[in-house]
Structure 1
Amino acid sequence: MPPISGKKRTKEIAIRVTEDELAKLKRRQQGTTMAGWMRDLGLGVTPMKPADPELVRALGRIGSNLNQVTKHVNIDKALDENVLEQIKAIRVSIDALLNEHLRGES
């Protein structure tokens, strides 16, 4: 990607890394090139990880369940044991997704 300022990049920075560090950098790399990714990180650009399609589907199912619970509460105007169990199940699903997709990352 060309520089935003329109100026040509003429300066070079070289760094040395171990094999392990290089492997870790490659696993974390986002974007088209290592240089572009590292430049963005150094200049304060916050990298955005692409959404995991399975996570999006799981969140959609949870949202659907939550809508059903909400509809039930709005129609009956009460929280019965069934509704409370559904809410607990939704909370368990959300916690599992957070553990799998967010908290477990290094």
Structure 2
Amino acid sequence: MNNQKPSKRLREISIRLTDDELQRLHQRKTDATLAGWMRNLCLGATPIKQADPTLVRALGRIGSNLNQIAKHANTHNQLDQNVLTEISAIREILTDLIEKNLQGED
């Protein structure tokens, strides 16, 4: 077991940015602080993109619809054409949401 305390950060670097560059960095950061995000990014940590709240709500609605479809299928022990159509529509919506999110679109 390692009981050593982590070293204090005593070294500092500075960079010059335009207002636009600084704003873009703040928009892209995935840590609470810009310094922490930049340190992790530069030292090899894999940044995790923050989930888009709109996407999270949309996925929640889709999950609710899927639960309703599953309940219908389990209750009636069958999948009629309406259920299959709904599943197909949900698949298309999910594919579109995922593609837009990966491309960084809003």
Matches within 5 A, 1:43-82: 43-82=43-82
Q: Relative CO higher for 1 or 2, CA cutoff 8 Å, sep ≥ 6?
A: 1
Structure 2: any 5+ residue segments left out of the alignment? Answer: none
* Cα distance, 1:33–1:71 mapped onto 2, change above 3 Å: closer
Shift of the alpha carbon at 1:29?
2.5
- 1:11 matched to which residue of 2? 11
How does the TM-score come out when normalised to structure 1?
0.71
User: What are the Cα deviations for residues 73-100 of structure 1, in whole angstroms up to 9, with x where unaligned?
Assistant: 1111112111110100110110121122
What is the CA-CA distance between 1:35 and the residue it aligns to? Answer: 3.1
Relative to the length of structure 2, the TM-score reads: 0.71
Cα RMSD for the two superposed structures: 2.6
Cα distance in 2 for residues equivalent to 1:70 and 1:82 = 13
Give me the identity figure in percent.
Answer: 53
User: How many residues were matched structurally?
Assistant: 101
Shift of 1:25: 4.1
CA shift in 2, pair 1:34/1:60, >3 Å: closer
